[in-house]
Amino acid sequence: MRRVIFNQKGGVGKSTIASNLAAISATRGLRTLVVDLDPQANTTAYLLGPDRQQDSGSGMVGLFEQCLSFRLYEQEPVAFVEETPYPDLHILGAGRELELLQTKLEARYKIYKLREALDALAAEYDAVYLDTPPALNFYTRSALIASERCLIPFDCDDFSRQALYELLDNVLEIRQDHNPALQVEGIIINQFQPRTRVMQQAVADLEAEGQPVLSPPLSASVKIRESHQRATPLVHLAPSHKLTREYLALFDTLNH
């Protein structure tokens, strides 16, 4: 299954959710690949460590650079995949060079290249998680075209609510024009504070509208900051923590 974590709004936890669900997937014995399409490379730093030096020929940068060049013999997509410190968890990492490549990729209409690469890797992996930039750009569209399911992080503020409907329309347009297999799998409530009436009301309103709100919500916790600082997903850092248990329950909801 290929899942894209997508929201055009920044700061809603896309990288954190993608990395932690993927880490859990690997602990369940599934060969798991993470695809980082954000030039900020937060997911790459989270899973490989902040001191990892991005090789311009590796990861998504190398893969996209290859499709822009004319080579007699091209490397297979697996050549751009890196191992993480965790068994069964691999990554196509990001780098700042992605920002510079975007205009060239758009001009040459390489929008289907990511899907082709993941098709070539299909026999290698049981699960794929794609992290996207906070914008509807070439990389996000590539991820939506390459995926089967879309997960939408939602942090219960007014801006998120206003943007959600536009986001759903954008996903529907990609589905109609490029990828009939794409489905919105659900909305993940992130940084939830159950005693906050505004958050409770926001979730209740979404559910009343029939939106696919997933359970359980993910609590706000300082533990996630420690997880980021130590570049260690929660399932490895704090297996019994409340937020880890919520991630495990969410994973089971998605894979029941």
Q: What is the 3-state secondary structure (H, E, C) of 36-65?
A: ECCCCCHHHHHHHCCCCCCCCCCHHHHHHH
Q: Is the pTM of this model over 0.75?
A: yes
Please check whether residue 175 is in contact with residue 29, taking contact to mean a CB–CB distance below 8 angstroms: no
Please check whether residue 70 is in contact with residue 127, taking contact to mean a CB–CB distance below 8 angstroms: no
Looking at residue 120, its pLDDT comes to 98
What is the pLDDT tens value at each position of the chain, 256 positions in all?
Answer: 999 999 988 889 999 999 999 999 999 999 999 999 999 999 999 999 987 755 557 899 999 999 998 777 889 999 999 999 999 999 999 999 999 999 999 999 999 999 999 999 999 999 999 999 999 999 999 999 999 999 999 987 766 777 888 999 999 999 999 999 999 999 999 999 988 888 898 899 999 999 999 999 999 999 999 999 999 999 999 999 999 999 999 999 999 8
> What are the tokens at 201?
């009301």
Looking at residue 158, its pLDDT comes to 67
Please check whether residue 48 is in contact with residue 231, taking contact to mean a CB–CB distance below 8 angstroms: yes
**Beta strands 32-36 and 127-131: pairing type?**
parallel
Looking at residue 198, its pLDDT comes to 85
Nearest to 4 by CA among 209, 142, 158, 157: 142
Q: How far is CA 194 from CA 7, 64, 102, 141, 217, in A?
A: 22, 43, 40, 34, 9
At the second CATH level, the architecture of 2-254 is: 3-Layer(aba) Sandwich (3.40)
Nearest to 149 by CA among 16, 17, 37, 2: 2
